[in-house]
Structure 1
Amino acid sequence: MNLFEAMKVFVKVTETGSLSGAARILNLSNPSVTRHIADLEEYLGARLLNRSTRRISLTDTGSAYLERCKQVLADLEQATLVAGMHAANPSGVLRINAPLSFSVHHLGRVLPLYAERYPNVELDVTLSDRVVDLVEEGFDLAIRIGKLQNSSLVMRRLVAARVLTCASPAYLERHGIPQHPDDLARHKCLTYAYTQPDNEWRLQRDGKIHTVRIHGGLHCNNGDLLLAAALSGMGIIRQPTFIIGDAIREGRLVPLLTEYHGEALAIHAVYPSRQHLSAKVRTFVDFLAQQFGEVPDWDRDLPL
């Protein structure tokens, strides 16, 4: 028995004064209304209605129970209304996990815009390049870059970033400019820890993939440190344009082997479930997709 449904039927029978009247208003059959009342009386172990061929009246127990039913149903309706308003208007704490360099360069500039639009959402952002367990660690969503492993998480692609091979003018003046991917094996190449495998770079041209084993003098888990090292002339880096785009536009880094390209890095928002998606998660993901757009800021006006 659906207790709340049975209570609604009971209240409507008392309001209309008949089983058939309640059935008509609730769009139920007469036998269904009769069954709801019988199930409710059996559940309570008490008679609620006196029935005759001409009229229905409340018993003393039914009269007392009716007032409680009306209050419970009114409270349920109010709770449903509040839940609906909460779902439509984002509020509460939104816990986000995001990569360090991407967030510092680009996520940070759009967070104030989201906060201005949705002032009832409190943003709690944790920066880390490791892949966290959203459910285990209590995050509402994460921003992830690159290939995603198959999982039960919902994934929405936001935008992409190109990956370019670059070095500073000072480094190239001292060590020369590589003309072919194989030349990289003779250069100092600064490597990123979360690239697998971390001692190989894969470049593609005309459908042919060139895999080069590289080495350098710096292996790091942060793209900004690799950028700083490359700018100082320490070696060649291969990093996404959301980190190195400004340095290329300003001439502080020189793109290399531009006729060879690698796979673009897709940037996704991931979250645990599509069902009953909270307004704060939905609006934040939609907002990011809108802000970054098809051609993001970090790829605009690159001299390539």
Structure 2
Amino acid sequence: MDKIDRMRAFALVAKNASFTTAAKRMGRSARLVSKYVADLENALGVQLLNRTTRSVSLTDAGATYLTLCEPLLDGFDELEERVRNEQVSLRGVIHISAPTGFGVTRLVPSLTKFSEAHPHVELDLRFSDRRASIVEEGLDLAIRIGPMRDSSLKIRQLGPMALVVCASPAYLERAGRPSHPRSLTTHECILDSNMAEPTMWRFDIGGREETVQVNGRFRMDAPAASARLARQGAAIARCPAYTVADCLKTGELVELFAENRIAPYVVAALFPQNRRLTTRVRALIDHLASDPELCPDDRR
């Protein structure tokens, strides 16, 4: 019996907590998958799974074995994929997570170009403004903007993304245009609850980064919603450039303190450290990193 089949059966049972689900994904019977796992345990001389009539869970030894065998399975899959496809015809599914606004406006056009070049690759897109758990949700990669706080993931930078402070002409006419970043303390500001410190806005003032404390009645967890609220004249917003680029061009929004922008955030692709990238995922990341339309210079 092939050891790879045993390892794959165990990994699928462990990740799905089900022999039945693992059997369906392998295209085998649940009885055969159970035999694979039992033979693996016998060969190793340790119990990898706790089994009851209602549940399946990992033992401590099983958790260790799963951590070590998953990179081996990924590597084996990539080896087969490279030999089979000769780097010419990529196949398979790529599971991707991205912020909603960025995903719709910037990522989808880039993925369309990638899909045209690789018609046998399937793209499973999951858009959300929350930070998805790549490992737990079975993602191949996640696109994120801003500080990268998860040290357990590998990062490939794709490009810069500026933060833009802006308001509508109607708001500025009603409340007055702030003359200096520090003047924001007396204005209504929209707070981004995705930020670690929503009330602390940073600016480059005289070559030094300075923090200005702002306040406001609105807290939003979606940058596109903040931009829309600002466009309606409710308050001043600080948004990633992709959410307001079109409105700045049409005059629906006016950028404030363009000369005081701090260093832009980074748009990055994140993926698990212990997982070997398949050829198709590596090709997608290379495509995104080389696409000038994904993170264009949004300065006016």
After TM superposition, is the score higher than 0.5?
A: yes
Larger radius of gyration: 1
Q: 1:106, 1:224 → 2: CA distance?
A: 13
Deviation at 1:131, TM superposition (A): 2.1
Residues 1:133 and 2:133 are matched in the alignment:
yes
Is the 8 Å Cα contact of residues 158 and 292 (structure 1) preserved in structure 2?
Answer: no
CA–CA distance in 2 between the matches of 1:81 and 1:187?
Answer: 60
Name the counterpart of 1:92.
92
**Could you tell me how far 1:81 is from its partner in structure 2?**
6.6
Cα contact 1:96–1:124 (8 A) shared by 2: yes
How far 1:113 sits from its partner (Å)? 1.2
Q: Once the 2 structures are TM-superposed, how far is the Cα of residue 86 of structure 1 from its aligned partner?
A: 4.0
C-alpha separation in 2, matches of 1:95 and 1:120? 14
In the aligned structure 2, how far is the partner of 1:87 from the partner of 1:134? Answer: 28
Q: TM-score, normalised by structure 1?
A: 0.68
CA RMSD of aligned residues (A): 2.0
- SS in structure 2 opposite 1:286? helix
- Distance in 2 separating the partners of 1:253 and 1:203: 19
Q: How big is the shift at 1:160?
A: 0.6
2:292 paired residue number: 292
Note closer, same or farther for the CA distance 1:291–1:82 as it changes in structure 2 (3 Å cut): closer
Work out the CA distance in 1 between the residues paired with 2:80 and 2:130.
40
Amino acid at match of 1:163: L
CA shift in 2, pair 1:160/1:213, >3 Å: same
| Aligned positions of 1:41-190 closer than 5 A | 84-86=83-85, 88=87, 89-190=89-190
Query: 1:155-304 to 2 correspondence within 5 Å?
Result: 155-273=155-273, 276-292=276-292, 296-297=295-296, 299-300=297-298, 302-303=299-300
Question: In 2, distance between residues paired with 1:217 and 1:136?
Answer: 35
| 2:190–2:236 contact (8 Å) kept in structure 1 | yes
Q: For structure 1, list consecutive stretches of 5 or more residues without a partner in the other structure.
A: 1-79
Aligned residue identity for 1:85: R
**Tell me, what secondary structure is at the counterpart of 2:129?**
coil
The answer (yes or no) to whether the contact 1:181–1:203 under 8 Å persists in 2 is yes
Alignment size in residue pairs: 221
Q: Compute the displacement of 1:204 (Å).
A: 1.5
Q: Matched residues in 2 for 1:90 and 1:134: separation?
A: 22
CA distance in 2, matches of 1:127, 1:218: 23
Q: Is the 8 A contact 1:168 1:253 kept in 2?
A: yes
